[in-house]
Amino acid sequence: MKLKVFELRCPDGEKEWIADYTNIGALITYILSTHTDLLDMDSENEIVEVPEHEWQELLVTNLDPESPDDWQTKTIAELMQEHTLPGVIASTMYL
């Protein structure tokens, strides 16, 4: 099975992108990766699959000055080439 990209949308406008096989898997991966309690999530949060043809349009900026990777901006498509396991890809929460 191929990894998909899911977008977790928060009521305050923040977003997180998660690589996983299903939306339920993405939610579990997010909760385990961020140590978020499911009860802390708002009932207005939603998780939707991002179609693969939109991956090229989603840009991610590397804001980590300590990052061993030497890149400024990549698309979700480029990042997905590096992802072989489920995980959180990017977030707007730290901008």
Residue-wise pLDDT tens digits, 56-95:
999 887 766 666 666 678 899 998 998 899 999 988 876 5
Spatial neighbors of 42 by CB under 8 A, at least 6 apart, are 10, 11
Phi, psi values for residue 19, rounded to 5°: -95, 125
pLDDT at 9: 92
What residue segments make up the domains of the chain, in order of their start? Answer: 4-91
- CA 48-15-85 angle, to 5 degrees, is 65
pLDDT at 24: 94
The predicted model scores a pTM of 0.86
Spatial neighbors of 49 by CB under 8 A, at least 6 apart, are 4, 5, 6, 7, 23
More confident of the two residues 54 and 42:
54
Q: How far, CA to CA in Å, does 48 sit from each of 6, 10, 43? A: 5, 12, 14
